[in-house]
């Protein structure tokens, strides 16, 4: 019986692995900034929010899908001070963060409301990307009384 199961699993394993083959993607020659969203919302599901004085976090995924090096020149938040940002540790103090083909990084944004109300801001990314050298992402959070 165990021999029969082993023989049955072998074709299934081969078929499953065949779907995991090397996918060739035609990449543009220019640097391409890929992000995983256009808005960072903080605990806004089901009209919930973040308690005043508490901190919640959200992370933005950034990747280069071009053949040339992507240079992230700046990342900045505009809006109320309830939004703060943590750049990647490998971002140079003077100069751009460079991402090679398929290389990725993350930017962490924190939201710590100081009042029971809605807050909005903007995260702006500046780069040498051919698909848009400036990207603006909306920041949205809602403070609620504890």
| CATH code for residues 29-144 | 2.60.40.10
Q: From residue 17, give the alpha-carbon distance in Å to each of 7, 14, 21.
A: 16, 5, 7
Tens of pLDDT along 72-112?
999 999 999 999 999 999 999 988 999 999 999 999 999 99
CA distance 69 to 87: 19
Q: Where are the domains of the chain?
A: 29-144
Identify the three-state secondary structure at position 45.
helix
In terms of Cα–Cα distance, which of 85, 142, 87 is closest to 117?
A: 142
Q: What is the pTM of this model?
A: 0.80
């Amino acid at each position: 019986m165990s021999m029969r199961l082993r023989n049955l699993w072998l074709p299934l394993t081969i078929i499953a692995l065949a779907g995991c083959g090397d996918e060739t993607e035609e990449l543009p020659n220019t640097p391409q900034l890929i992000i995983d969203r256009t808005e960072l919302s903080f605990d806004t599901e089901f009209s919930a929010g973040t308690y005043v004085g508490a901190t919640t976090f959200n992370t933005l995924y950034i990747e280069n899908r071009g053949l040339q090096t992507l240079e992230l020149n700046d990342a900045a938040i505009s809006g109320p001070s309830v939004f703060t940002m943590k750049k990647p540790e490998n971002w140079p103090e003077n100069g751009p963060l460079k991402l090679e083909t398929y290389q990725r990084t993350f930017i962490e944004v924190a939201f710590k409301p100081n009042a029971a109300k809605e807050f909005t801001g903007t995260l702006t990314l500046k780069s040498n990307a051919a698909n848009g050298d400036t990207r603006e992402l909306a920041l949205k959070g809602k403070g609620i009384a504890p």
